[in-house]
Structure 1
Amino acid sequence: MQFIIAPAKKMQVDVDTFAPETLPEHLKQTAEILTALRALTPAQRQKLWQCSDRLAAASEQQLAQLNLKGPLTPAIIAFVGIQYQAMAPDLFTESALQYIQAHLRILSGFYGALRPFDGIVPYRLEMGSRLAVGNAKNLYEFWGARLHDQLDFTQGPVINLASVEYAKAIRPFLTPDETMLDITFGRMVDGKFKTRATQAKIARGSMVRYAAMNGLTQPEQLKAFDHPHYQFSPSRSTASEMVFEYHD
């Protein structure tokens, strides 16, 4: 099986923890996106980023200095959001690092589907951003089936730990013999089963860590996910969705 996760908005440059082993597969497409992004006015970019004036100013500076040649940071270290903090890849064993390189892909609107040790640079661009690139009116249309085609369905089901925004880049291109198993982390709130974003991000990172540290190879093994609050819920789960319910 192979896991897919979303990237994080918060990124860093770290050339000390691990060295990049590979380059992103679709750097030509990334360069096209960068050109399209730089062709916008600052006001258009702020609207695209949907951020405050302070963040827009920082993002403008980042964009002006962005060089696809580096310095490069492995993707698994470059992203430092809540999910990645919970995963803590810098504390992985050597076998766990090898596991994620084979079994984990990070979906990016800027780079495509990233392997953990693909060298990347910080950027600000969400997959759902309405950025026209060439004849494509948005990033979903621009990438088309490329992200899907970067996944290895010969390993078995793709385990979807990504957000809806990023899973949407894969789902339309699934063939009848390909399976994507959705993982949902939720809890009962006022009589309704809901997903809390922050808790779910932490759980997603923790599940990747659990799989990597234990070398899991079958979706069934995920049911034993070792978490202090989330437990597998057979009654809420289906053949296409594995649900974990939060308990205090």
Structure 2
Amino acid sequence: MKILIPNAKELNTNLDSQSFHGLPKASQEVLSVLNQMTVQELANLYKMKLDKAELELDRWQRITQKQARLYPAWLLYDGLMYRYMSRRDLSEAEVDYLKEHVFITTSFYGAISVFESIAPHRLDFQASLKIGSKSLKQYWRSQYDQLVQDDELIISLLSSEFEAVFSPSIQKRMTNITFMEETAGQLKLHSTISKKGRGLLVSEMARNNVQSLEELRILQVDGFYFREELSKEKEMVFVRQVS
């Protein structure tokens, strides 16, 4: 079983770090393309102002010069989903579970363990970056597919942007999780609910050593309960009542 989660734009570098120790070959090729870009080209790529693009250029230069500091990926990423995950004072069993089952999808490092040490950077699959003749999604597809090809159960907590990196045959095998809130009989779905729910779910699955859909169906996640009548074959819906 694999549980797939997205990376995040928000970063927290107020952490213990370690010295740079090189890049995987696949990441080096992405870096080589980025190193050929000017600040203006980076600004266009990111769709941001020049002053912010200069920060990103500095990050890429630090990585190139092997001066970047490294941080555990799931502590460095600090978006809403990550902030709702239990990331401190974990039991040995929880750490083992996360190592075996939970992977972060990125467009610079590929699909990585949550404990992988990475450098601060910004890059997503919406960027129109070509690695040779391939888009970022095409470039990483074989590595993404290989990660899950032997897994009978693939739990996707990804957006469509990240799922599209996988081959269509892999996407069809994914089980998606949807979080909703219900008020006076009205169901509500929005990104904040989803991000909080996903973070909480990962931690509850680790805490309860969930290994199957049957175990997932009976899991209670901060007031969210599985709703059979709202779910589909490849979509599990969890709903929380709000007064």
TM bucket by the smaller chain? 0.7 to 0.9
Unaligned runs of 5+ in 1: none
| Displacement over 6 Å in runs of 4+ | none
Instruction: Name which of 157, 175, 184 aligns with 1:181.
Output: 175
Contact 2:138–2:165 under 8 Å retained in 1: no
Instruction: Identify the residue that residue 127 of structure 2 maps to in structure 1.
Output: 129
Percent identical pairs in the alignment equals 26
Instruction: Identify the residue that residue 103 of structure 1 maps to in structure 2.
Output: 101
Instruction: Identify the residue that residue 16 of structure 1 maps to in structure 2.
Output: 16
Unaligned runs of 5+ in 2: none
Contact 1:6–1:161 under 8 Å retained in 2: yes
Deviation at 1:61, TM superposition (A): 2.4
Alpha-carbon distance change, 14 to 224 in structure 1, aligned in 2, over 3 angstroms:
farther
- 2:228 aligns to what SS in structure 1? coil
Normalising by the residue count of structure 2, what TM-score does the alignment of the two structures yield? Answer: 0.86
Q: Comparing 36-45 with 206-215, which one deviates more in the overlay?
A: 36-45
User: For the aligned residues, what is the CA RMSD?
Assistant: 2.9
Contact 1:105–1:116 under 8 Å retained in 2: yes
Instruction: Identify the residue that residue 25 of structure 2 maps to in structure 1.
Output: 28
Alpha-carbon distance change, 193 to 133 in structure 1, aligned in 2, over 3 angstroms:
farther
Equivalents in 2 of 1:193, 1:143: separation in Å?
Answer: 36
Q: Which amino acid aligns with 1:32?
A: E
Q: What is the 5 A alignment of 1:1-248? A: 1-13=1-13, 16=16, 27-67=24-64, 70-136=68-134, 138-151=135-148, 153-154=150-151, 156-174=152-170, 179-187=173-181, 195-248=189-242
Equivalents in 1 of 2:62, 2:86: separation in Å?
Answer: 28
Normalising by the residue count of structure 1, what TM-score does the alignment of the two structures yield? Answer: 0.85
Alpha-carbon distance change, 228 to 212 in structure 1, aligned in 2, over 3 angstroms:
closer
Q: Number of aligned residue pairs: give it.
A: 240
Q: Which amino acid aligns with 2:198?
A: R
Contact 1:105–1:151 under 8 Å retained in 2: no
Alpha-carbon distance change, 135 to 171 in structure 1, aligned in 2, over 3 angstroms:
closer
Superposed CA offset, 1:141-199 (max 9, x none): 21232111122634x31100111111111252429xx831111123469x986531122
Alpha-carbon distance change, 184 to 131 in structure 1, aligned in 2, over 3 angstroms:
same
Deviation at 1:29, TM superposition (A): 1.1
Superposed CA offset, 1:66-116 (max 9, x none): 248553222222211111111132232221011100011111111111012
- 1:174 aligns to what SS in structure 2? helix
- 2:34 aligns to what SS in structure 1? helix
